[in-house]
Amino acid sequence: MSNDKLLQMFLREPGQYVSGEKMSQELQVSRTAIWKQIQKLETEGYSFEASRRLGYRLLSIPDKLDSDLLSSRMTSSRFGRHILMHDTVQSTQIVARDAAEKGAPEGTLIIAEQQTSGRGRMGRGWVSPKGKGIWMSMVLRPSVPIHFAPQLTLLTAVALCRSLIRLTGLSIGIKWPNDLLIEGKKISGILLESAAEDERLRYVIAGVGISVNLEPSDYVDGLLEKATSLRIASGHTLSRSDIIVQFMQEWEQLYDLYQEQGFAPIITLWEALSISLGKPASLVTPQGTITGIPVGLDTSGAINIQLEDGSIIPIFSAEMGEPT
């Protein structure tokens, strides 16, 4: 039995329940085989409603991404104009790094429908089911010294946060340095990796994972306590294409602003969207744990922490949490 034959039965009767008995007879397979195929389709982004009495009903089909259609919709002039689309990859970061080494131009976008080994900050895994999120990496070739790389991480968070707020109307904030949260739950991960030579950046790979249309069943036990999706938060499905187009436009505008005016405008925008400032925090650094109150960014992109004695120190890399 092929997925196509099973799907055709649902598409012939849109919005209607199809009984397990009817599917079993028409396709000449067992009900157990039908159930397994339904589960397989769900992993590919299809959504079904099951009724013990009525059978199954197709609720939604995956929002397939198409590189030609995306390119034609782009309002940005450079970023996202060259798109490399993949069905399944280990990680878009790996593919993008290979493309950058082979001379891919700035703005090249690598998108996958699914990642089998998606990575977040600190080497953590990232849930990347097929057809439900945005898993992409972009090639950047900024003309800045290597120590400016953290500024690009914060710029990426600002661009993504602004574009998602504009599209969804949801209350989304940035937790330092670049986690996007809705009511304390993470909806996006950002990971920038760079290659340098003679203290200059050869290229930067900006990886972005956005939990767009994931449902509660897509998360392993316990993860929903600290993660969510735009669909869960908004109550409806969103267009992944709309998000990518809007993000590329916002990113290019802020990147050009950064190139022209430096990091100062990005600091202002980041602080306006931050949910980390002014609240006691515990920062786990390579040198140990520091407790204090984040009061703003410094010009390098570090977070300034006010200690108990009133002194202020910059923290460049840490895992931020609430003090225990």
pTM of the model: 0.81
CA distance 302 to 2: 54
pLDDT at 198: 83
Of 106-120, 227-241, 297-311, the range with the lowest mean pLDDT is 106-120
Is 121's pLDDT higher than 80?
A: no
- Can you tell me the mean pLDDT for 129-138? 91
User: Higher-confidence residue: 44 or 239?
Assistant: 239
User: For the segment 248-285, what is each residue's pLDDT rounded down to a tens digit?
Assistant: 999 999 999 999 999 999 999 999 999 999 999 999 99
Is 180's pLDDT higher than 90?
A: yes
pLDDT at 118: 62
What percentage of the chain exceeds 90 in pLDDT?
65
Computed over every residue of the chain, the mean pLDDT equals 90
pLDDT band at 238 (very low <50, low <70, confident <90, very high): very high
CA distance 7 to 12: 9
- Can you tell me the mean pLDDT for 70-74? 89
CA distance 133 to 172: 17
Largest separation between any pair of C-alpha atoms in the chain? 76
User: Higher-confidence residue: 152 or 128?
Assistant: 152
User: For the segment 23-53, what is each residue's pLDDT rounded down to a tens digit?
Assistant: 999 999 998 999 999 988 887 778 899 998 8
DSSP output for 173-217 = EEETTTEEEETTEEEEEEEEEEEEETTEEEEEEEEEEE--S--GG
pLDDT at 64: 81
pLDDT at 226: 92
pLDDT at 122: 46
CA nearest neighbour of 94 among 110, 71, 113, 77: 110
